[in-house]
């Protein structure tokens, strides 16, 4: 008989894996709520047009897209941002600003699976819409940092690399690129960290750079600038038009304002200016950032930024927006790598042991009564010797074991044993639920 296997890039979640996944989700939820974000969700299946309107037709090769029985072109969602934009646009006039929403959902991308990248993954998204000021950027970066720290990561195990697509656009324009050329140049810059220099030179030449070597050197020098004042000094030495100077200096003022907010929030140690970050998605419009692990292979953990034009591009009202996404796959891999995966104990509160049919029915009735009070109560489905049942009770991790033997039934009592101390107490059967609740709360 053939054995059916999980599809490539998809995962089975056995109980222990599911417990860990749910723990990661719980930490994300707690962090988002502490920051005042509200949870939302949308359908797993979306219109293909919604995705191509956001990212272009070329994204179709990365999607699980098909025609449904109604003849509609649809796709399993690869991310939640388009869904968020659609939902907010539909009720934009009724939503109080700023809109602070988060979601934890499953996404799907048809791409080559590799370490840290699967075809099905869960992602934590957090976004602020309706606030154009840098306080929104600082808030989502703060939530990103807090989310990683709350999962158990230390300050020296990750860094948020902060950059600015607007600053890059203005700088690229000053080098002679315009319109689609500038967008193409940003695409090259986004890959330069992983691209041989000669390949980047050739790409700049194909794009139309009049002097690819000079352009490449200017871009490389710009990428290495460590702080705002170094950027200002670098730009002051360039032969730029007055318009270019004004645009670039305006962005540097925005940088100073954002960095002041991050400093006030105590986030400076977690964030560094790094102009090598550009973010490949064309809808980003301002500050962009990526969180990278600084141990092991240095993989990206999360990414995000400003996308002020996206809602209008998708047919909604113009609205500033900023947010990030964090996947569960690379996060779990890193926690495992630094030996910080939580040890989750899935245990019972109460275990009931019994003998005979009368003992079973009495135990079963009390188990249901205790469950109604919120306790996790377990009992064997089939009777075994008391010794074996007590062994099962120990394996369950229960705090208390309740005993329903012939003597207990005859006397109208239940023996309640504290599993940690070994202490045992006879409780009248009629008062069992209240007595057990009191003992359980006492610990």
Q: Is 329 helix (H, G, I), strand (E, B) or coil?
A: helix
Residue 189: CA count within 13 A, CB half-sphere: 31
Establish whether 372 is an annotated binding residue. no
What element of type H or E holds 325?
strand 321-327
Judge whether 122 is annotated as a binding position: no
In this structure, what is the dihedral angle of CA atoms 296, 146, 250, 211, given to the nearest 10 degrees?
A: 20
DSSP 355-383: -HHHHHHHHHHHHHHHHHTT--EE--SS-
Instruction: Calculate the CA 200 to chain-centre distance.
Output: 32
The answer to whether 207 is a known ligand-binding residue is no
Q: Is 284 annotated as a binding residue?
A: yes
CA angle 174, 247, 207 (to 5 degrees): 30
Report whether 283 belongs to an annotated binding site.
yes
Q: Helix (H, G, I), strand (E, B), or coil: what is residue 291?
A: strand
To the question of whether residue 395 is assigned a binding role by annotation, the answer is: no
Would you state the structure tokens that stand for residue 97, as one six-digit string?
A: 């600003």
Q: What is the rounded CA–CA span in Å between residue 344 and residue 295?
A: 24
81 is in an annotated binding site: yes
Listed in order, strand segments (DSSP E) in 109-204 are 120-129, 158-164
Check: CB of residue 373 under 8 Å from CB of residue 437.
Answer: yes
* Cα end-to-end distance, the chain, whole Å: 51
Q: What is the DSSP letter of 339?
A: T
79 is in an annotated binding site: yes
376 is in an annotated binding site: no
Which residues are documented as binding site? 79-81, 109, 123, 127, 279, 283-284
Which residues are documented as binding site for L-histidine? 79-81, 109, 123, 127, 279, 283-284
């Amino acid at each position: 008989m053939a054995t059916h296997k999980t599809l490539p890039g998809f995962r089975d979640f056995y109980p222990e894996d599911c417990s860990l996944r749910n723990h990661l989700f719980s930490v994300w939820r707690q962090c988002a709520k502490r920051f005042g974000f509200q949870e939302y969700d949308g359908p797993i299946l979306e219109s293909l047009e919604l995705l191509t309107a956001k990212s272009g037709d070329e994204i179709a090769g990365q999607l699980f897209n098909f025609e449904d029985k109604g003849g509609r072109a649809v796709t399993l969602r690869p991310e939640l941002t388009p869904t968020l934009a659609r939902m907010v646009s539909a009720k934009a006039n009724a939503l109080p600003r700023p809109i602070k929403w988060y979601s934890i959902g499953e996404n799907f991308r048809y791409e080559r699976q590799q370490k840290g990248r699967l075809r099905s993954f869960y992602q934590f998204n957090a976004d602020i819409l309706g606030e154009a000021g840098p306080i929104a950027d600082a808030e989502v970066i703060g939530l990103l940092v807090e989310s990683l720290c709350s999962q158990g990561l230390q300050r020296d195990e990750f860094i948020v690399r902060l950059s600015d697509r607007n600053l890059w656009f203005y700088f690229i324009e000053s080098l002679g690129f315009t319109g689609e050329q500038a967008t193409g140049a940003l695409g090259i810059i986004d890959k330069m960290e992983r691209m041989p220099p000669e390949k980047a030179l050739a790409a700049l030449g194909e794009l139309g750079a009049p002097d690819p070597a000079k352009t490449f050197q200017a871009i490389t020098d710009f990428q290495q600038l460590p702080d705002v004042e170094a950027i200002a000094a670098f730009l002051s030495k360039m032969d730029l038009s007055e318009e270019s100077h004004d645009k670039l200096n305006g962005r540097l003022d925005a940088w100073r304002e954002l960095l002041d907010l991050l400093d006030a929030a105590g986030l400076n140690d977690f964030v560094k200016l790094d102009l090598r970050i550009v973010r490949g998605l064309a809808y980003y419009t301002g500050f962009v950032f990526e969180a990278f692990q600084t141990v092991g292979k240095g993989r990206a953990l999360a990414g995000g930024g400003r996308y002020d034009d996206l809602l209008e591009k998708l047919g909604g009202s113009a609205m500033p927006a900023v947010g990030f996404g964090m996947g569960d796959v690379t996060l779990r891999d890193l926690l495992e790598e630094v030996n910080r995966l939580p040890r989750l104990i899935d245990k019972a509160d109460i275990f009931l042991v019994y003998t005979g049919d009368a003992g079973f029915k009495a135990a079963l009735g009390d188990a249901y009564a205790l469950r109604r009070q919120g306790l996790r109560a377990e009992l064997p489905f089939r009777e075994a010797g008391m010794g074996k049942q007590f062994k099962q009770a120990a394996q369950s991790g229960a705090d208390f074991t309740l005993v329903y033997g012939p003597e207990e039934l005859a006397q109208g009592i239940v023996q309640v044993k504290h599993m940690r101390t070994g202490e045992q107490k006879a409780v009248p059967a009629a008062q069992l639920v209240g007595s057990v609740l009191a003992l359980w709360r006492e610990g």
